[in-house]
Amino acid sequence: MKICITGATSGIGEASLHLFAQNSDHIIAIGRNEAKLAQLKLQYPDLVTPLILDIRDKEKVTKTLSSINDIDILINNAGLALGMDPAQKSELNDWDIMVDSNIKGVLYTTHTLLPKMVERKQGLIINVGSIAGTYPYPGGHVYGATKSFIHQFSLNLRADLAGTNVRVTCLEPGMVKTNFSEIRYKGNHEKANKAYENIAYLTSEDIAKTIFWISTLPSHININVLEIMPTAQSFGRFHYERRSI
């Protein structure tokens, strides 16, 4: 199979690349880290085609991916969160970056590759969302909203793709230890590590195995939405402001 993975140079994307490569699948590895892409190409010279590409760049994404044919699986994995300040104290630039990466990047890759899947009457799109798209939390404002978009976009794609044999899954992980928190806290290692302290969190490999499992299902089975959390993570109660009325 031919797999296209965005955000392939770290975390879930890289773990997925290794798993598909071990299955002798060919991977189009998309990322911005040129050195890491070169390393992955060196590790799997016959299986990895590296693409140094910023998925936020509409023209480059369209131009680069439009020349690629026969993609069996598109894994829209690239994305990020920035900051944990409340909305009223957040930086507007952080909001722009999250929207451009988490929403527009997915739109650009999907819009470019989807018509060819429909034409071939086969294909699978796995959009990596998040439980943040369902369960709000303080500081999650725009990040959670972008993942809620991914959830609904995936379901609406399913509606449009009825009868095409192209499948779409929205995979929504909970706490996974990757470089996610490092980016969110803008390089503050102490804060990033504290987020995972004393918690039996999920790993990139856990999610990669789930992605791989979805990819191996028969073509008559579609996983619409799959939410996955570590056992140690659950739901919180509602917050109430108590004051005299």
Confidence band for 112, pLDDT divided at 50, 70 and 90? very high
The model's pLDDT over 126-185, given as tens digits with 9 standing for 90+, comes to: 999 999 999 999 999 999 999 999 999 999 999 999 999 999 999 999 999 988 888 888
pLDDT of 237 reads 85
Average pLDDT, the chain: 95
pLDDT of 106 reads 98
pLDDT of 120 reads 97
| Two structure tokens written together for 3 | 């797999």
Classify domain 2-228 at the CATH topology level: Rossmann fold (3.40.50)
- Rounded to 10 degrees, what is the CA torsion of 40, 44, 46, 47? -80
CA distance 39 to 138: 38
With a cut of 90, say whether residue 96 has pLDDT above it: yes
CA distance 94 to 100: 10
| Domain extent listing, the chain | 2-228
Burial of 183 (0-12, 13-18, 19+ CB in 10 A): middle
With a cut of 80, say whether residue 4 has pLDDT above it: yes
Q: Which residues are catalytic?
A: 143
pLDDT of 245 reads 77
| Mean pLDDT, residues 7-27 | 97
Percentage of the residues of the chain whose pLDDT score is greater than 90:
87
pLDDT of 94 reads 96
Closest Cα to residue 54, out of 97, 20, 3? 97
* DSSP code, position 178: S
Confidence band for 87, pLDDT divided at 50, 70 and 90? very high
Phi (first) and psi of residue 6, to 5 degrees: -90, 150
pTM for this prediction: 0.95
| Mean pLDDT, residues 205-214 | 98
Confidence band for 189, pLDDT divided at 50, 70 and 90? confident
pLDDT of 147 reads 98
CA distance 34 to 214: 29
With a cut of 90, say whether residue 195 has pLDDT above it: no
Confidence band for 187, pLDDT divided at 50, 70 and 90? confident
- Higher pLDDT pick, 187 / 34: 34
